Amino acid sequence: MNCTKCKTKAVISLPRHNAAFCKGCFNGFVHDQVARAIKSEWMFGKEERILVAVSGGKDSLALWDILLKLGYRADALYVNLGIGTYSEQSHAKVTKFAEVVAASHGATLHLHTVEQEAGAGIKELAQLIHRPTCSTCGTIKRYQFNRVAIEQQYDVMATGHNLDDEAARLLGNVLHWQEEYLEKQGPSLPASVEGFAKKVKPLYRLSERELAAYAVLNRIDYIVEECPMAKGSKMLQYKEVLNRLETESPGTKQTFYWGFLEKQSKKQPTATTMTEKDRAVLHPCTSCSQPTTAEVCSYCKMMVRAKTVVPR
């Protein structure tokens, strides 16, 4: 199989684009897709400071790599969740990337360690406060990324969510008719209230397979192991189903998610926008000042409970 553009030997075929690429042309394709996402969704400009949420996985490290190569001012934050050897390995991968690649672009890595603040790793913490591990993890990561973005005055926070993540999430929301979540499934969410950073997903035009290929081709050393806490998760099941459909009918995932985005953009503006709704229900947490619908935010409540039950 030869490269569709330059006719040399291809290293990857992309059935959904009816194309195949060599390494050089594939890198060009990936960079172009990210640049298109940034421009079409008004994500950020060259002067703005970006905080990338990195986990040590292929998507977030590829995102950091791509943004730096495209000339953006992108630093990163890694949250060490304290999941035994999995966290040790992912932490090592992120540190190595920061030292070997990001530092040469003048980029910085920030670090937050859950165990230092909560007194226990995520798994033990979830058990102690009787909450599912993945929901505890989500609360902590969202809180810490927003906190660092606001405290360090970043203009925008970028996550490595890809086409597969968004299509799987959309499938889950549609299957359960969780219409209230659909409004927030776009790739660019504004900083709706004081204390919330703008959030963007520059990889939404690229599939999980394309990002893994980008990481392999560019020798990005990422953690291949799956998070042990995610085993059997609904998201993984939705992704599996969508990939079976994609293999039989290339383009299914992009038609599903991009089609949804197109429909959303054509919708008549409702009486109240997302920003107006947020402003109506959110106010500063009395403990930490981050926006919340309650008096004390769920993160602060979690830390209070953790500090009560975890022996220090």
Partner 1 sequence: MQVQLSHPARTVEVKGPKKVKELLRELNLVVEAHLVIKGDDLVTEDEMLYDVDQIEIRPVISGG
Judged by beta carbon, residue 73 or residue 161, the one nearer partner 1 is 161
Question: Interface residues with partner 1 (CB under 8 A)?
Answer: 1, 10-13, 20, 57-59, 134, 137, 164-165, 207-209, 211-213, 216-217, 224-227, 229-230, 233, 235-236, 239-240, 243-244, 246-247
Residue found under tokens 């799956």: 226
Report the residue number, 179 or 248, with the smaller CB distance to partner 1. 248
Q: How far is the CB of 15 from partner 1 (least distance, A)?
A: 8
Closest CA to 58 of 238, 254, 221: 221
Partners of 75 in beta bridges: 51
Least gap, CB of 93 to partner 1 (angstroms): 13
Nearer to partner 1 by Cβ, of 136 and 144: the residue is 136
- Shortest distance, CB of residue 124 to partner 1, whole angstroms? 18
Minimum CB–partner distance for residue 308 and partner 1 (Å): 27
Six-digit token pair at 94?
């992120």
Min CB(20)–partner 1 separation in Å: 6
Please, is 151 exposed, middle or buried when counting C-beta atoms within 10 Å of its C-beta (0-12, 13-18, 19+)? Answer: exposed
Cα–Cα nearest to 194, from 296, 270, 275: 275
Cβ nearer to partner 1, comparing 184 with 244: 244
The residues, any chain, with a CB within 8 Å of residue 40's CB and separated by 6 or more, are none
Helices (H), the chain: 23-40, 58-69, 84-100, 114-118, 122-128, 133-151, 163-175, 179-182, 208-217, 234-248, 252-266, 274-281, 298-309
Kindly state the smallest distance separating residue 300's Cβ from partner 1, in Å.
24
Instruction: Give the span between the Cα atoms of 188 and 264, in whole angstroms.
Output: 13
- Residue 22 contacts residue 10 (beta carbons within 8 Å): yes
Least separation, in Å, of the C-beta of 224 and partner 1? Answer: 6
Tell me the closest approach of the beta carbon of residue 194 to partner 1, in angstroms.
Answer: 31
Cα angle: 80, vertex 82, 87; to 5 degrees: 65
Report the residue number, 127 or 247, with the smaller CB distance to partner 1.
Answer: 247
Q: If you search the block for the tokens 């943004």, which residue do you land on?
A: 67
Per-position DSSP letters for 17-47, written without gaps between them: GTEEE-HHHHHHHHHHHHHHHHHHTT---TT
164 or 278: CB nearest partner 1: 164
Return the number of the residue (45 or 132) whose C-beta is nearest partner 1: 132
- Between 25 and 227, name the residue whose CB sits nearer to partner 1: 227
- Cβ neighbours, 10 Å, residue 280: 10
| Residue 230 DSSP one-character state | G
